[in-house]
């Protein structure tokens, strides 16, 4: 006997077999029992969740020789023909395949004749939103005054595209995405009957990959049987779907919430190198952070979160390490990236940048904390800023330092801000540069178009005083030679300098293996004289110079500095 695919073999035959749509099947069963079946139904929902199956069961219920009955016999000719898709009285039209004009026109002519065998002529129109306007009009005529022996069952994934005139004549049912619990339970049943050796992690991974669609889940199981046989483990499933292991996802979310940027980047690099789908990763991260958000606002609720108990435990731990404001910011960043990623070639770079931003968003103070701090300032005239490291605190939050000294020395811009340019490597500034690296490259290439292709594979690796190091992987050694001409160097120094608020000197550095990651303290700073800055200063074009001066002026303003500190912010533009 030929192999029958699981989705077909396990297609539900009775209303009670339809997974996760009890709200629909119960109502239909009651309607049949009470003899109150409507003339037209519309089943709405994403693909593979049971719309067509439910339509067929409804058709059987109506035309079964023992019917109408909520439990069709599955034995009579009518039942069998309907399941096989060749019943005379049940016509299935695919709105997507031929736009249905001819078929709907035929339907109008045939609709008058009584059914060949059963009590009803039933028209099942799948993807009804794909019908042309002409087909809709033809259909509407019949829908307005349907003969008593005619029933319509429409299915659609996009109800907003179905004309209101049709919608208003249908009883509408919205089928749900099937929950992970329901999906895994169903898969377990199938696996048992098919004698598969498959563990819980693998089942969960299939459920994740299928995104609430039973048909996709069953197809995945078919694929897995074909690829790896009857013993199926999580890693098999992950590779079929291009999914990231649950544990890795947990870890990645943890690093973002803790603002551990080097680790975040390392994980993304590993995932990219092992060929994981970055777009899919964003979708999964979004769902993860959204779950944390729901947990923070609503707790576990009654099955609000579609998660296993183990996953719930991990989620809880993550939720306790953060607050809703921060998670909201992360969700916003990821939502924006999800849209951009679809059309992007360098998905990894965009995702890295986004997660770095997300990591920063996770470590900034919340609005509530800001309000609290402002109240403290009003009361005491001082500020405690949890966003700053202990090392930086004494310098930057002491109002007497930023107040008088800075303002009294307005002309020596680069030396005044030297208080910010401490001798210690600045992780914070480095993170700012890394986080905005893509944008910075854009700015640099306005003045030095050729620099772009060389910089794209580079990354800032250290900020120390007036020196900024940009690292290159060994394979891009030639980029350094190409970059190191005055025009490029000036453009890079100018743009980075304007971000950091002081003149800087850039060093290009060839990284060794294992030295790739920013924030790596192993990287030794190169000591450079400051004289070079002044030499290049002469090349600065007038506008940029003005902007830099304006920025530096505001950076010396104590209230601006406080605001920047509280928000972990930066001046990006000064409009005067
Ligand atoms: Zn029957």
Give pLDDT, residue 407.
37
Q: What's the 81 CA to ligand 1 centre distance in angstroms?
A: 10
d(CA 160, CA 157): 9
d(CA 118, CA 203): 41
Most confident of 367-371, 380-384, 456-460: 456-460
Burial class (CB in 10 A: 0-12, 13-18, 19+), 275: exposed
The whole-model pTM stands at 0.57
How many percent of the chain have pLDDT more than 70? Answer: 80
Average pLDDT of span 166-186: 91
Q: What's the 75 CA to ligand 1 centre distance in angstroms?
A: 5
Average pLDDT of span 470-497: 85
Q: Are 183 and 217 in contact (CB under 8 A)?
A: yes
pLDDT band at 451; cut points 50, 70, 90 = confident
* pLDDT of 88 above 90: no
Q: What's the 316 CA to ligand 1 centre distance in angstroms?
A: 50
pLDDT band at 438; cut points 50, 70, 90 = confident
pLDDT band at 63; cut points 50, 70, 90 = very high
Give pLDDT, residue 152.
93
Most confident of 279-288, 344-353, 410-419, 468-477: 279-288
410 compared with 205, residue with greater pLDDT: 205
560 compared with 355, residue with greater pLDDT: 355
548 compared with 146, residue with greater pLDDT: 146
d(CA 7, CA 133): 33
Give pLDDT, residue 158.
92
Q: Are 553 and 410 in contact (CB under 8 A)?
A: yes
pLDDT band at 105; cut points 50, 70, 90 = confident
Q: What's the 14 CA to ligand 1 centre distance in angstroms?
A: 11
pLDDT band at 364; cut points 50, 70, 90 = low
Q: What's the 308 CA to ligand 1 centre distance in angstroms?
A: 39
In the block, residue with structure tokens 């700015």: 443
DSSP 459-526: EEEEEETTEEEEEE-GGGHHHHHHH-SHHHHHHHHHHHHHHHTS--EEEEEEPPTT--STT-TTSPPP
28 compared with 441, residue with greater pLDDT: 28
Q: What's the 77 CA to ligand 1 centre distance in angstroms?
A: 7
* pLDDT of 383 above 60: no
Q: What's the 80 CA to ligand 1 centre distance in angstroms?
A: 7
Q: What's the 65 CA to ligand 1 centre distance in angstroms?
A: 5
Average pLDDT of span 311-328: 88
Average pLDDT of span 343-362: 82
Q: What's the 210 CA to ligand 1 centre distance in angstroms?
A: 32
Give pLDDT, residue 413.
36
Structural domains of the chain, ranges and CATH numbers in brackets: 6-174 (3.40.50.300), 180-241 (1.10.8.60), 246-363 (1.20.272.10), 411-555 (3.30.300.180)
Q: What's the 60 CA to ligand 1 centre distance in angstroms?
A: 7
Q: What's the 56 CA to ligand 1 centre distance in angstroms?
A: 12
Q: Tell me: the pLDDT tens digits for 384-407?
A: 444 443 333 333 333 333 333 333
Q: What's the 535 CA to ligand 1 centre distance in angstroms?
A: 92
Angle between helices 200-210 and 180-193 (to 10 degrees): 120
Rounded to a whole number of angstroms, the distance between the first and last alpha carbons of the chain is: 81
Q: What's the 111 CA to ligand 1 centre distance in angstroms?
A: 23
* pLDDT of 433 above 90: no
In sequence order, the β-bridge partners of residue 510 are: 472
d(CA 573, CA 63): 71
Instruction: Name the nearest CA neighbour of 225 among 18, 7, 20.
Output: 7
Give pLDDT, residue 33.
94
Q: Find the angle CA(279)-CA(285)-CA(293) to the nearest 5 degrees.
A: 145
d(CA 194, CA 186): 12
Q: What's the 67 CA to ligand 1 centre distance in angstroms?
A: 7
Q: What's the 5 CA to ligand 1 centre distance in angstroms?
A: 24
Average pLDDT of span 420-428: 71
pLDDT band at 576; cut points 50, 70, 90 = low
pLDDT band at 28; cut points 50, 70, 90 = very high
Q: What's the 79 CA to ligand 1 centre distance in angstroms?
A: 4
* φ, ψ of residue 239 in degrees (nearest 5): -75, -35
Q: What's the 219 CA to ligand 1 centre distance in angstroms?
A: 28
pLDDT band at 98; cut points 50, 70, 90 = low
Q: What's the 118 CA to ligand 1 centre distance in angstroms?
A: 10
Q: What's the 78 CA to ligand 1 centre distance in angstroms?
A: 6
Q: Tell me: the pLDDT tens digits for 267-318?
A: 999 998 888 888 889 988 999 999 999 888 887 766 677 777 778 889 899 9
Q: What's the 117 CA to ligand 1 centre distance in angstroms?
A: 12
Give pLDDT, residue 565.
67
Q: What's the 49 CA to ligand 1 centre distance in angstroms?
A: 24
Query: Helices (DSSP H) in 111-197: which residue ranges?
Result: 133-144, 164-167, 180-193
Q: What's the 214 CA to ligand 1 centre distance in angstroms?
A: 25
Q: Tell me: the pLDDT tens digits for 113-125?
A: 888 888 999 999 9
HSE at residue 161, side-chain half, CA atoms within 13 A, is: 14
Give pLDDT, residue 447.
80
Q: What's the 42 CA to ligand 1 centre distance in angstroms?
A: 24
Give pLDDT, residue 157.
93
Q: Tell me: the pLDDT tens digits for 495-506?
A: 888 888 888 899
DSSP 216-252: HHHHHHHHHHHHHTTEE-HHHHHHHHTPPPHHHHHHH
Q: What's the 32 CA to ligand 1 centre distance in angstroms?
A: 14
* φ, ψ of residue 464 in degrees (nearest 5): -145, 115
Q: What's the 113 CA to ligand 1 centre distance in angstroms?
A: 23
Structure tokens at 204: 């969960």
In three-state secondary structure terms, 196 is coil
Q: What's the 87 CA to ligand 1 centre distance in angstroms?
A: 12
Average pLDDT of span 528-552: 56
Least confident of 149-153, 420-424, 522-526: 522-526
* pLDDT of 408 above 70: no
Q: What's the 64 CA to ligand 1 centre distance in angstroms?
A: 4
Q: Tell me: the pLDDT tens digits for 225-238?
A: 998 899 999 988 98
pLDDT band at 97; cut points 50, 70, 90 = confident
């Amino acid at each position: 006997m030929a192999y029958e695919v699981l989705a077909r073999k396990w297609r539900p035959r009775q209303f009670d077999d339809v997974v996760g749509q009890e709200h629909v099947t119960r109502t239909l069963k009651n309607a049949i029992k009470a003899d109150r079946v409507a003339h037209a139904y519309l089943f709405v929902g994403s693909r593979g969740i049971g719309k067509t199956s439910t339509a067929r069961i409804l058709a059987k219920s109506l035309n079964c020789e023992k019917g109408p009955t909520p439990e069709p016999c599955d034995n009579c000719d009518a039942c069998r023909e309907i399941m096989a898709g060749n019943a005379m009285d049940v016509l299935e039209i695919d709105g997507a395949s031929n736009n249905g004009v001819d078929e709907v026109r035929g339907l109008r002519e045939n609709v008058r004749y009584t059914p060949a065998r059963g009590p009803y002529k039933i028209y099942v129109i799948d993807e009804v939103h794909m019908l042309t306007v002409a087909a809709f009009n033809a259909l509407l005529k019949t829908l307005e005054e349907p003969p008593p022996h005619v029933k319509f069952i429409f299915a659609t994934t996009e109800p907003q595209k179905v004309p209101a005139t049709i919608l208003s004549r249908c009883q509408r049912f919205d089928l749900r995405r099937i929950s992970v619990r329901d999906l895994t339970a169903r898969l377990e049943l199938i696996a048992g009957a098919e004698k598969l050796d498959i563990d819980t992690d693998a089942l969960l991974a299939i459920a994740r990959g299928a995104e609430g669609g039973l048909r996709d889940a069953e197809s995945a199981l078919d694929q897995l049987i074909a690829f790896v046989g009857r013993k199926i483990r999580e890693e098999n499933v992950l590779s079929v779907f291009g999914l990231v292991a649950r544990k890795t996802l947990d870890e990645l979310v943890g690093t973002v919430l803790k603002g551990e940027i080097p680790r975040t980047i390392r994980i993304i690099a590993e995932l990219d190198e092992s060929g994981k789908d970055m777009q899919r990763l964003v979708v999964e991260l979004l769902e993860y952070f959204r779950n944390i958000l729901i947990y923070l606002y609503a707790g576990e609720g009654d099955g609000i979160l579609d998660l296993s108990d183990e996953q719930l435990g991990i989620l809880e731990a993550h939720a306790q390490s953060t607050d809703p404001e921060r998670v909201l910011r992360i969700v916003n960043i990821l939502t924006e990236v999800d849209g951009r990623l679809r059309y992007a070639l360098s998905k990894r770079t965009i995702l890295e940048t986004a997660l770095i931003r997300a990591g920063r968003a996770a470590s900034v103070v919340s609005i509530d904390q800001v309000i609290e701090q402002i109240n403290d300032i009003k009361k005491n005239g001082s500020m405690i800023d949890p966003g700053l490291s202990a090392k930086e605190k004494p310098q930057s939050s002491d109002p007497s330092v930023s107040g008088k000294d800075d303002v009294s020395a307005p002309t020596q811009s680069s030396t005044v801000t030297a208080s910010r340019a401490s001798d210690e490597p600045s992780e914070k500034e480095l993170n700012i540069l890394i986080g905005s690296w893509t944008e910075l490259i854009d700015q640099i290439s306005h003045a030095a178009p050729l620099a772009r292709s060389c910089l794209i594979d580079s990354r800032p690796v250290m900020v120390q005083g007036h020196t900024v190091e940009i690292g290159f992987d060994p394979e891009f050694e030639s980029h350094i030679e190409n970059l190191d001409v005055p025009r490029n160097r000036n453009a890079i120094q100018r743009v980075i300098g304007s971000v950091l608020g002081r003149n800087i000197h850039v060093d290009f550095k060839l990284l060794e293996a294992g030295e790739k990651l920013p924030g790596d303290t192993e990287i030794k700073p190169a000591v450079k004289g400051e004289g070079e800055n002044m030499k290049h200063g002469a090349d600065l074009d007038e506008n940029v110079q003005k902007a830099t001066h304006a920025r530096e002026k505001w950076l010396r303003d104590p209230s601006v500095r406080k605001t920047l500190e509280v928000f972990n912010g930066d001046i990006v533009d000064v409009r005067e």
